[in-house]
Structure 1
């Protein structure tokens, strides 16, 4: 890393935050929001070569973790050396001094509001200044924006900002590739190592799509753009180490074949579903044994849909990875207790793990449906909707995932009662809305709760529990699907902003319910106990 840049940027972010301290309220230090859970798997299914590869992958993941600290906050050591006990633990969970599950409120005195652009941009930069600068590669996923000595904006590619770290990670991946037991896995590791060096991920994304038979999987690099809440342009470094569950994956194979039919049947005008999802998509289940960087910050993902590159999605599709052990942890420790407090006793039996698994899986599948490029020449949906793109995309995936479940149950291609899926989906809203307004998933769930309430998809009883009206929920599901797909296809930034303004806030009644969950000590998310020494059962 270029230390002089790091030092200057860290000083700027710390100073800038401190000057804003009167503009924000302090959050509590609450590590108990997170239930500890050990990430492990049945290591006997891994070969000797897999076992030899793992130490290299863990080291690469740790490097991604350090890079994300810089992207999210600045200089990690300057913060953690200052903290002790619960404050230090909470800062590690949040990758900085802001509570990600409380709208990024600071929990350390002297620290102000989190910059919307995190550490990707100068904290003194305005949106208007950025747009006026018209920087080469300014909207690239893989550049930082900085000021020169004269105060002018310029960009630095990631691989130039982190030269030593990137080179070390790439060499470790090349060493790991020596132990790959399939040609496709070896090819991916080598191409991904080179991609880290160049910030050109297209070929490595294609190589990752070609992997089918390897037990180990490794997702690494700058991937998701949620951390950039200024524009949603900049990708954050992260990593996952995964072990494929062969038995569960076999059960999921058949669903990929329905994607073209499901796309064609979406409840929206034809021009908003004209793109065809790639035919090489697949669904698999995994035990995850390590999260690093963005994926480990605050609320933890329990399923993955990648690559994000629209070119790869249209050419090859995406891979959907269900993280079964992490999913089970959230169901047992969070979703089930929530349902016992907030769902009508007569409908609680309809909250099941199988429905939770399917809803989560089809959420990821639904990311591949709809449209990636606007129908009116505004470019990609992501760039047109800017900082609102992520929240709307998550909202689309949630509601279209339920739509797909309903379609497949009606076709007798998915077992179970649709009431199970819908009731579990509603309980899932209460779980995810607790992530807050700083989370794309949190905003998406706020929108959906308020939209469902307006459409009378549920009623609240005198005892505070919720009863679902399944027919009204189906109508709301179709209407919201159409609205979101239309906004995306039109690249309607103002329309999305209006949707977020109208529906993206927690009403007082719901806040009372969320407070009840907190009073009962129901955790909001998971904190992983993980590492090379703990992954074996």
Structure 2
């Protein structure tokens, strides 16, 4: 009898750790498995990079805590130690000392006295001391960062009347660099560059001052993060030997060249080759890609995913991408902002085999790249839906009690049970396959005009595109939606999440910071307010609990279309003030009474608002001669076990 797969691995603080399956892996050829193996090794080699990008003290704090966890001679049954263990697990999850979504610094539940004694209980040779440093100086350096709430309180600040660079604790800029200096530095580069095909200035560097002058320290071989990047390159070189075709081999070679030179022109060349490869079954993302973590949306965090195409499920996304021009032509946005000819929208459903960097342990469920608008315009985009991750989320949530607690009635519950997983995937397909690739900038619009609000507005644009079309009869005509009722499941879940349930992810007294959460609240609150007179959507009370009730699904769809038109206008024209107003007025503030209620309801259910994953362990099987005969996957590794192994085997950056 086949043993049932266990999705849930661990649960602590506001987090639940899951594992995902990799169906179909056993059916791949040995060459494909070896390609996936080396790409997966490359996905793990850059782990330390993200820790350092998220904060200049993260690596030394993580290594100190791990030394205590493994070698400290403290009372492990004490309340302090149990709080210490949770604190370390949270740092592993967030890749640093700040919450991965909320951005606020973690408050340790253990005392300074305990920490002091715990660190001193470790053999000094096992502590991450700098040359000439003592345990005393190590503690003096770390205790304010860990315990003082006024020191580095927020990882990234992207709103308010303050210097966002100075207020952010991330490590993308030198400590004495200001927001005005950053904007002037890169503004000059943009003014002197090619406006039609602009480089992603600042994407792969830290901006610092030397002798009072701003200089970029590029992340490359021989530059910043060289120790880790060299290891990534070695595994990419090994992967190239197993490439499925010459085009894929060229993609890997160009990425290696980019890592060696740090040249952003080479990054663009790599991105173009990558987006045009629609033949390879195995695919990957590896590099400095997304800019959500930078206050100004310039610097990219390091991330990686490795995957192979789910051939059967991809037929769904291929249908969507083949009709991309129809969706573009019928969009409710102004004709000036539509693409006359949609180019190269490729879409697929993938099975992920390894997550790394900013995609681990918390991962996206869909990806659309490249980010450069001019590459999208001239060469298209590649979109993926990660179905095995979505399936893991779905399976782990069954029987949690969430639906009974937060969904208004059996009508909505039954609809969600029947259509929820399908419409989730369809919304993700539309968001990634078409939403991000839709529309166009006006010729003179600066692609960075929306600054810190760009990420939120771009996610809103893609979400709205998916929501609007999910209810279109075209979805039934294409055989994607089973009937005209299915879309209501996603509409209800989206409004419930945007207005209510995602609030559990934020500490009381705080505001919404993360771009995706701001996007969802912005959309939900805007359409709620716009439809208030007609009671399109209501918040109703029952037994002291607040619920979402949708009275008119078609009118709600019309409101999604109206907001989509405005967000596209803002992006196309680079209307910073309108974008700022939309985000600040709808996406940031929280009703404190409602916030308290939602968090209390979650506590009673013992639900974790955030989920992340452990990776399967990928192993080479060799014969007596040392030749690889197979690659196997092991799903039994625990959370702490995996994190400690990664710290032992994939930690290359010096302090």
Which range, TM-score by smaller chain?
A: 0.7 to 0.9
Contact between 1:341 and 1:465, CA under 8 Å: does it hold in 2? no
From 209, 231, 242, the counterpart of 2:275: 209
Q: Deviations over 1:496-533 (max 9, x none)?
A: 11111210123346422354234312222322121434
Contact between 1:347 and 1:467, CA under 8 Å: does it hold in 2? no
Contact between 2:345 and 2:381, CA under 8 Å: does it hold in 1? yes
Query: Are 1:233 and 2:302 an aligned pair?
Result: no
Contact between 1:459 and 1:468, CA under 8 Å: does it hold in 2? yes
Contact between 1:41 and 1:243, CA under 8 Å: does it hold in 2? no
Residue 157 of structure 1: aligned partner = 218
Contact between 1:431 and 1:524, CA under 8 Å: does it hold in 2? no
From 468, 477, 481, the counterpart of 2:550: 468
Rounded Cα–Cα distance in structure 2 between residues aligned with 1:311 and 1:460 = 42
Distance 1:75 1:509, change over 3 A: closer
List gaps (5 residues or longer) in structure 2: 1-10, 66-83, 109-146, 157-164, 191-200, 507-511, 619-631, 636-655
Distance 1:168 1:248, change over 3 A: same
Q: Which stretch shifts more, 514-523 or 61-70?
A: 514-523
Distance 1:378 1:255, change over 3 A: closer
Q: Deviations over 1:422-450 (max 9, x none)?
A: 33243145557355523210000111121
Query: Are 1:326 and 2:389 an aligned pair?
Result: yes
Q: CA deviation at 1:90?
A: 0.5
Q: CA deviation at 1:115?
A: 4.3
Residue 247 of structure 1: aligned partner = 312
Query: Are 1:392 and 2:432 an aligned pair?
Result: no
Q: Deviations over 1:222-252 (max 9, x none)?
A: 1111111x20011111000112211111233
SS at match of 1:462: strand
Contact between 1:205 and 1:307, CA under 8 Å: does it hold in 2? yes
Contact between 1:402 and 1:422, CA under 8 Å: does it hold in 2? no
How many positions carry a matched residue from both structures? 502
Rounded Cα–Cα distance in structure 1 between residues aligned with 2:20 and 2:549 = 35
Query: Are 1:523 and 2:585 an aligned pair?
Result: no
Residue 378 of structure 1: aligned partner = 445
Contact between 2:354 and 2:615, CA under 8 Å: does it hold in 1? yes
Residue 100 of structure 2: aligned partner = 100
Q: CA deviation at 1:481?
A: 0.8
SS at match of 1:186: helix
From 332, 346, 349, the counterpart of 1:285: 349
Q: CA deviation at 1:31?
A: 3.7
Q: CA deviation at 1:152?
A: 3.0
SS at match of 1:224: coil
Rounded Cα–Cα distance in structure 2 between residues aligned with 1:372 and 1:535 = 43
Q: CA deviation at 1:71?
A: 1.1
Rounded Cα–Cα distance in structure 2 between residues aligned with 1:427 and 1:252 = 22
Q: CA deviation at 1:353?
A: 0.7
Q: Which stretch shifts more, 110-119 or 396-405?
A: 110-119
Query: Are 1:360 and 2:428 an aligned pair?
Result: yes
Q: Deviations over 1:21-57 (max 9, x none)?
A: xxxxxxxx95442242245333212211122233322
Q: Tell me the TM-score normalized by structure 2.
A: 0.71
Superposed CA RMSD in Å reads 2.6
Q: Which stretch shifts more, 405-414 or 434-443?
A: 405-414
From 143, 153, 165, the counterpart of 2:205: 143
Rounded Cα–Cα distance in structure 2 between residues aligned with 1:410 and 1:248 = 16
Contact between 2:305 and 2:356, CA under 8 Å: does it hold in 1? yes
Distance 1:60 1:313, change over 3 A: same
Rounded Cα–Cα distance in structure 2 between residues aligned with 1:88 and 1:169 = 26
Rounded Cα–Cα distance in structure 2 between residues aligned with 1:131 and 1:39 = 44
Residue 81 of structure 1: aligned partner = 63
Distance 1:396 1:522, change over 3 A: same
SS at match of 1:373: coil
Q: CA deviation at 1:147?
A: 1.4
Query: Are 1:402 and 2:442 an aligned pair?
Result: no
Contact between 1:36 and 1:528, CA under 8 Å: does it hold in 2? yes
SS at match of 2:227: helix
Residue 46 of structure 2: aligned partner = 64
SS at match of 1:61: helix
From 317, 323, 327, the counterpart of 2:380: 317
Q: Tell me the TM-score normalized by structure 1.
A: 0.86
Rounded Cα–Cα distance in structure 2 between residues aligned with 1:85 and 1:135 = 45
From 591, 605, 615, the counterpart of 1:507: 591
List gaps (5 residues or longer) in structure 1: 1-28
Larger radius of gyration: 2
Rounded Cα–Cα distance in structure 2 between residues aligned with 1:429 and 1:126 = 38
Query: Are 1:416 and 2:499 an aligned pair?
Result: no
Contact between 2:36 and 2:307, CA under 8 Å: does it hold in 1? no
Q: Deviations over 1:81-125 (max 9, x none)?
A: 343411111101001111123343433423531243521112443
Q: Deviations over 1:353-379 (max 9, x none)?
A: 11111011111123334434345x232
Q: Deviations over 1:157-209 (max 9, x none)?
A: 22121233323322321211111232232222222222222332122222222
